[in-house]
Structure 1
Amino acid sequence: MNQVPMTAQGAEALREELNHLKTVKRPEIIEAIAEAREHGDLKENAEYHAAREQQGFCEGRIQDIEGKLSNAQIIDVTKIPNTGKVIFGVTVTLLNIDTDEEVTYQIVGDDESDIKQNRISVNSPIARALIGKEVDSEVEVTTPGGQVEYEIVAVEHA
């Protein structure tokens, strides 16, 4: 399977979630199943079925996270010298040339992207347009609203 780029912070967040699922959530669900079993007939035992369903979701998420971590190529951008070039993991500040508005994005892996936190996927159109470009470069990005021209104002390895 191909390796998937992931920031060090993204990998750490997944490891924390995995640890929580294995050490807290899984035992809670097992306890809930045991309690529900004591109520007798399992066919009409809603608590038992709900707990089993939760167990399925929990185990599925554990497998999902373990798979993502095993395929992750963890990139810690803070350990890479800043050459002013846009690479995976950097935080880039852009100036919209038409509107004079500044926007800052961190370029992250697909699973880490969250537009509310200004974290965009390395596979998004804007990130693809930026990768490899340098500070003070102008970049044209095709967006759903048409072409947008940006100037790369800053590249940070934070």
Structure 2
Amino acid sequence: MAILNEPATLVDNPGGIPLTPEGHAMLQKELDHLTSVKRPEIADRIRESQQHGEFSEDNNELDEVKFEQAMVENRISELKALFGSAVILEIDQIPTDTVGIGSKVTVEDLQYGDEFSVRIVAGVEADPNKDLISMESPLGSSIYGHGAGVEVSFEAPEGRKRYKILSITR
């Protein structure tokens, strides 16, 4: 696994993009897959097709493969740039008194009484299917900086929501 930069702290790099250790590992795994699997696969497909003369001027297959190659190269560049400015949070940097990056927050939907937990992350790590919520999302931005017991409201695609922060952990 290639290490593109050593972990920094927010003090060392105040303008850096904060990543949880899990988010950093996930993005590093994606970069490794793109560089060691996808990039060679695409190069092989281009090479094999050229050797067999499958690409002609009016063949869209070459355009499709080159488009895929451009997408992969673009994502590799994005990830390398991200790692160049990333700040990997240490566990003790994750707040538990107020909601911050890396916090695991349990909230109650005050309309329905449902309770659920989410982890607040930077946008590059967000994956709502895994309960990783961006601090820029409506829910994330409404609870960010608040402590347990605080009630917040925000506009969601389904309408106005009201939640209460029940607990904040690492």
Matches within 5 A, 1:92-111: 92-111=105-124
- Is 1:139 the counterpart of 2:154? The answer is no
Partner SS, residue 14 of structure 1: helix
Matches within 5 A, 1:1-158: 2-40=15-53, 42-76=56-90, 78-80=91-93, 83-135=96-148, 137-144=149-156, 145-148=159-162, 150-157=163-170
d(CA) in 2 for partners of 1:140, 1:56: 43
AA partner of residue 14 (structure 1): L
AA partner of residue 86 (structure 2): A
d(CA) in 2 for partners of 1:117, 1:82: 21
d(CA) in 2 for partners of 1:81, 1:88: 7
Unaligned runs of 5+ in 2: 1-14
Aligned Cα RMSD in Å? 2.2
Q: Deviations over 1:46-95 (max 9, x none)?
A: 4433332222121111112112222222223x233754322211110012
TM-score calculated relative to the size of structure 2: 0.77
Partner SS, residue 73 of structure 1: strand
Unaligned runs of 5+ in 1: none
TM-score calculated relative to the size of structure 1: 0.83
Q: Percent identity?
A: 29
4+ long deviations beyond 6 Å:
none
d(CA) in 1 for partners of 2:161, 2:28: 39
